[in-house]
Chain A
Amino acid sequence: MESATDTIESFVKSEYKYGFVSDIETESFAPGLNEDVVRRIWQKKGEPEFMLEWRLKAYRHWLTMKEPHWPNVHYPPIDYQAYIYYAAAKPKKKLGSMDEVDPETKAVFDKLGISLNEQKRLSGVAVDAILDSVSVATTFKGELAKQGIIFCSFSEAVREHPELVKKYLGTVVPTNDNFFAALNSAVFSDGSFCYIPKGVRCPMELSTYFRINTAGAGQFERTLIVADEGSTVSYLEGCTAPMRDENQLHAAVVELVALENATIKYSTVQNWYPGDKDGKGGIYNFVTKRGKCDGRNSKISWTQVETGSAITWKYPSVILKGDNSVGEFYSVALTNHRQQADTGTKMIHVGKNTSSTIVSKGISAGRGQNSYRGQVKILKSAANARNYSQCDSLLLGDRCGAHTFPYIDVRNSTATVEHEASTSKIGEDQIFYCNQRGLATQDAINMIVNGYCKEVFKHLPMEFAVEAQKLLGVSLEGSVG
């Protein structure tokens, strides 16, 4: 009889089902990066003058910076001159409505289950679809505009709403914030922009779907979400990439701004290609995500389910500047085969009575290495600040690893900070118990892992929670027995 450990072994040989390559005619720059490339991206995008200065400043700063090596991940040196910094599907004609999206591009998204057709809308989700570096379509723009909501590609925002972009861009993640953020600031070619006006509760989920297609291209997108006073928005992000043997770089920046009484909920299901079972290929996901609770009583909540990428380096964070503001971080990170993840959050308490919650669930399988890295910082000004952190690690099999690096920095004696951590192995006893009730081992593991993640999944919007559950199943799937 096979033991549960053997079963887990065979079990983690998963297949990545989004690994197809689409043949779309693209217009790409030659690989390499210099000031001229930055200028040409700016030109291509038809951006106003201030953006060129902004990009060049970022680029020049980037040249002075060093790639960070403090995360607990290991990879060969990256040749930044080998990447393509701009790739876009060649437009066959000017796009007016959804029906005019290039059929091949549309087919890519259809295959991914993302309908760009508004008639086929799924439970009120508006989608901005981004292929390689460029936004190809945004659905429901018209309907959202009736309430004054701006939801469009970043390029369009820069052209149509330069005053908003100028006011908020880089206010949460400055161009010189870190190596990858500086690189992104210099060369980002698109992304999503969203503005919710005062007092408006966004009537549908807003969503961006990222797809890398072109070989050798880096993807650098930028998302900026501004929730004006008293507004509420829920935002979803999904992503996939073809299976390729070389590593591809994804260095995105997401900035969130919540003004007084505003709430932003940002959910991610990250499913970039993780590489094959021997660690060949896969996406390097080096992402800077940060939100600022700028006004009183504002709230920013991050929920992430990280199952893809060869290497994940990301710390969705919240700066709690406004008094009584609330920051939340709920995370499930799964590493299988040779995947590595160093992920967590930063909660920076500045205002009075600010509170933050961190729930991190790491799952390691195969030879996966999973690190939680979190910082809770209570500044002197943050009277009565509260933080609760819980980070749990689950190990499947005996060749994977889980690591926890919590940093707590308290400078105000009225603060309350709690930290709980646990590490457990998926028990043979748990699997046997399920077997004894008639459940096969694969179903048992799925059930146990999903149960373990429940605290995080319940914070995802419904359709996403279902997708996340399935995704965990797929990521752990393999032939049993």
Chain B
Amino acid sequence: MLDIRNLCAGVDGTPILKNLNLQVGPGEVHAIMGPNGSGKSTLAQVLAGKSEYEVTGGEVIFNGTDLLEMKPEDRARAGVFLAFQYPVEIPGVNCTAFLKAALNECRKSRGETELDAVEFLQLVKKKTQLLELDQALLNRSLNEGFSGGEKKRNEIFQMAVLEPKLAILDETDSGLDIDALRVVASGVNKLRRPDNATLVITHYQRLLNYIVPDVVHVLVHGRIVKSGGKELAMELEERGYDWILETVAANGKA
């Protein structure tokens, strides 16, 4: 589904991702872990198409098409969803109206009919029940005055409505207390399907107790230096990142 080959990218001339390789198949959940500044968020932003990141090499094939050639909105319409680490506030823009416009753009691009207000609200109701979300949130302006937890829940809610093929969760656990974390994680789990994939970017192992990954990758200095099963995350939690950094340094690859 997602095939990243030798991806190199940076910002303002500073290279951040260096020959990154990653393959994610349908139905899989991959976790990307790594110390601060290793390039985790950059990877998420590059996949979503943020223009301030410059891709200097490599390719990203998503379901057979060259993702890097597509505009951000076309990537979204093709099913790439980024749950932002810091969702921006857009004052005066109603959450529901925003999401309806977004969903209908995605549907249009797939040749499906647009949902009218009634159909959309039915869908919203279904999804809010699934995620145990307070519907009152949806009558407010997008992320305006939301608590950290509310913002993250809203991201997952948008994901539930848009039903992406590839969901990228960028540090979705940051700033969440344990209850909020549980709610968000159970939402993600309920949305897992054999034909969609999830990329969970996180600094801590904590989230992975709730969203169990098939593969864990360790990102250091812009490349994946180690991959393994969910036990790798446990090991990182116990031993920290230092031992990996040392191994990498010893192999002279860093």
Chain A residues within 8 Å of B, Cβ to Cβ: 1-4, 427-430, 432-441, 443, 447-448, 450-455, 481
Contact = CB atoms under 8 A, between A and B. Distances in A.
Nearest to B83: A436
25 contacts: A1-B49, A1-B71, A1-B72, A3-B52, A432-B50, A432-B51, A433-B84, A435-B49, A435-B76, A436-B81, A437-B158, A438-B73, A438-B76, A438-B77, A438-B106, A439-B102, A439-B105, A441-B73, A447-B93, A450-B93, A451-B91, A451-B93, A451-B94, A452-B91, A454-B92
A452 B144 CA distance: 12
Contacts of A447: 90, 93, 98, 101
A452 B141 CA distance: 10
Interface in B72-103: 72-73, 75-77, 81-82, 84, 87-88, 90-94, 98-99, 101-103
Nearest to A454: B92
A466 B91 CA distance: 19
A444 to B, nearest CB: 8
B73 to A, nearest CB: 5
Nearest to B73: A435
A430 B162 contact: no
Contacts of B99: 437
Nearest to A448: B90
Interface of B: 48-52, 71-73, 75-77, 81-82, 84, 87-88, 90-94, 98-99, 101-103, 105-106, 109, 141-142, 158, 162
Counting from the closest, the 3 A-B pairs by CB-CB distance are A451-B92, A451-B93, A454-B92
A432 B72 contact: yes
A4 B51 CA distance: 8
Contacts of A454: 92
Nearest to B82: A436
Contacts, number: 85
A443 B49 contact: no
Contacts of B49: 1, 435-436
Given A436-B72, A437-B158, A438-B106, A455 B92 contact: yes
B102 A438 contact: yes
B92 A435 contact: no
Contacts of A441: 73
A435 B61 CA distance: 20
Q: Which of A430, A438, A441 has the most CB of B within 10 A?
A: A438
Given A427-B88, A430-B90, A437 B51 contact: no
A2 B51 contact: yes
Nearest to B105: A438
Query: Which of A430, A435, A437 has the most chain B CB within a 10 Å cutoff?
Result: A437
Contact of A433 (B90, B92, B94): B90
A225 B169 CA distance: 59
B87 A433 contact: yes
A441 B158 CA distance: 19
A443 B101 contact: yes
A439 B91 contact: no
Contacts of B75: 436
Given A438-B105, A438-B162, A443-B101, 15 more contacts: A1-B49, A1-B51, A3-B52, A428-B51, A429-B88, A436-B72, A437-B76, A438-B73, A438-B77, A439-B73, A439-B101, A440-B105, A441-B73, A450-B92, A452-B92
Contacts of B73: 435-436, 438-441
A3 B71 CA distance: 11
B72 A435 contact: yes
Contacts of A452: 91-92
Nearest to A433: B88
A50 B247 CA distance: 99
A450 B141 CA distance: 12
Contacts of A437: 76, 98-99, 102, 105, 158, 162
Contacts of A455: 92
B141 to A, nearest CB: 7
Contacts of A451: 90-94, 141-142
A398 B101 CA distance: 28
A430 B82 contact: no
A434 B76 CA distance: 10
Contact of A430 (B48, B51, B88): B88
A436 B76 contact: yes
Contacts of A453: 92
Contacts of B82: 436
A280 B93 CA distance: 35
A432 B44 CA distance: 13
A439 B51 CA distance: 16
A279 B82 CA distance: 42
A48 B189 CA distance: 82
A433 B93 CA distance: 13
B102 A435 contact: no
Contacts of A440: 73, 105
Nearest to A361: B92
B116 to A, nearest CB: 18
A455 B91 CA distance: 10
A479 to B, nearest CB: 15
A440 B76 CA distance: 10
Contacts of B48: 432, 436
A457 to B, nearest CB: 9
Given A432-B72, A440-B73, A3 B105 contact: no
B177 to A, nearest CB: 24
A481 B105 CA distance: 18
A405 B203 CA distance: 48
B130 to A, nearest CB: 19
* Max chain A C-beta neighbours (<10 A), residue from B71, B93, B99, B103: B93
B76 A448 contact: no
A430 B92 CA distance: 13
Contacts of A3: 51-52
A256 B29 CA distance: 66
Interface centre among B49, B73, B81, B142 (most CB of A within 10 A): B73
A3 B54 CA distance: 12
A308 B102 CA distance: 31
Contacts of B51: 1-4, 428, 432
A1 B49 CA distance: 9
Contacts of B71: 1, 435, 481
Query: Considering residues A4, A436, A455, which has the most beta carbons from chain B within 10 angstroms of its beta carbon?
Result: A436
A430 B51 CA distance: 13
Nearest to A451: B92
Contacts of B81: 436
A358 B48 CA distance: 41
